[in-house]
Amino acid sequence: MPRFSLTAAIAEGVTHGSIVGAFTCYNLEQLAGVVRAAESTTQSVCLLLAEGAFRSALGPALCRAMVSAAEQATVPIAIQLDHTRDLELMRRALDQGVTAVMADGSTLPYPDNVRLVTDARAIAIRYGASVEAELTHIPGDEDRAVAVATTTGTDVSRAVEFVDQTGADLLAVAIGNVHGAYATPPLLDLTRLSRLRAALHLPLTLHGTSGVPDDQVRSAIVNGIQKINVNTELRRSYLDAAHETTRDELSSANLLAIGARLSAAVEATTAVHLDRCRHRQAQHD
Ligand code: 13P
């Protein structure tokens, strides 16, 4: 398959009755698990490349592995450089084949956020790639599960203005979601989500899906979410499987067996989230 831009993967998902699951992969075992789950459920997915992972020594190799996995997959796969405000890094990732970037200026003053997304879009458009933006900051750490509290949600009229000014292709909404672990039980603001959906005409995305109860994720999808981002739960399933490494595997130094188990754990967690992605959306009015 060719690589898909994020908007094309979402459109493909809509045609086949599902939204897009986006999964952060830090290594090849995770990547293999996510791709296998996508292929066995025949659903479009997005591979998320964390900024920290891309900046690490193995980053370029990981990026190339994602691109190659997408090209060999039997389902549409987009590859997105997640949460960055470094335009040069975006350019490098796009050169290596990612098909989407998340230009996250949510901690910048409003005019600077607008400029970042506009600049990112001018770059991405040359690659046929999509740009996701974030207006109101979604708290938390993308790489570590630190318990964080939610903040105020995305303002609807501000979001309309922001999307008009930037031309963003997708918008990450703050509706009670956080990255990493939730300090208090998550409670998504579905009323705000419905209002955002009614006012905006671009795909809305839910970050921080790990730890959100199943019924809330499904309701968020019914109410307009078209991409869910999952990272922490994938890391946890990987680490739990690593913890269960047997004495036999250790004493025989059997990396293939250990790797296969780690991959299978990630595949199972991905499949749970992909099942949610099949939840039907209510008709957009
Ligand atoms: P979680 O780690 O909370 O699943 O969030 C992932 C995410 O939103 C990546 O952008």
Question: For residue range 58-102, what is the model confidence (pLDDT) as tens digits?
Answer: 999 999 999 999 999 999 999 999 999 999 999 999 999 999 999
Asked if pLDDT for residue 283 goes beyond 60, the answer is no
CATH architecture for the domain at 6-284:
Alpha-Beta Barrel (3.20)
Burial of 283 (0-12, 13-18, 19+ CB in 10 A): exposed
pLDDT of residue 280: 67
Alpha carbon of 34 to ligand 1 centroid (Å): 15
Residue nearest ligand 1's atom 8 by CA: 207
Cα–Cα distances in Å, from 210 out to 52, 66, 180, 271, 284?
Answer: 19, 22, 7, 14, 26
Helices 28-41 and 255-277: angle between axes, nearest 10 degrees: 40
Domain boundaries, the chain: 6-284
Residue 231 Cβ < 6 Å to ligand 1:
yes
Alpha carbon of 282 to ligand 1 centroid (Å): 24
Residue nearest ligand 1's atom 3 by CA: 208
> Residues 29-41: what's their mean pLDDT?
98
pLDDT of residue 145: 82
pLDDT of residue 90: 98
- Percentage, residues of the chain above pLDDT 90: 84
Alpha carbon of 181 to ligand 1 centroid (Å): 9
Angle at 93 between CA 169 and CA 11, to 5 degrees: 30
pLDDT of residue 146: 79
Asked if pLDDT for residue 284 goes beyond 70, the answer is no
Q: Closest Cα to residue 50, out of 140, 119, 114?
A: 140
pLDDT digits (tens, 9 = 90+) for 220-276: 999 999 999 999 999 999 999 999 998 888 899 899 999 999 999 999 999 999 999
Q: Which of 37-51, 221-235, 271-285 has the lowest mean pLDDT?
A: 271-285
Q: What is the pTM of this model?
A: 0.95
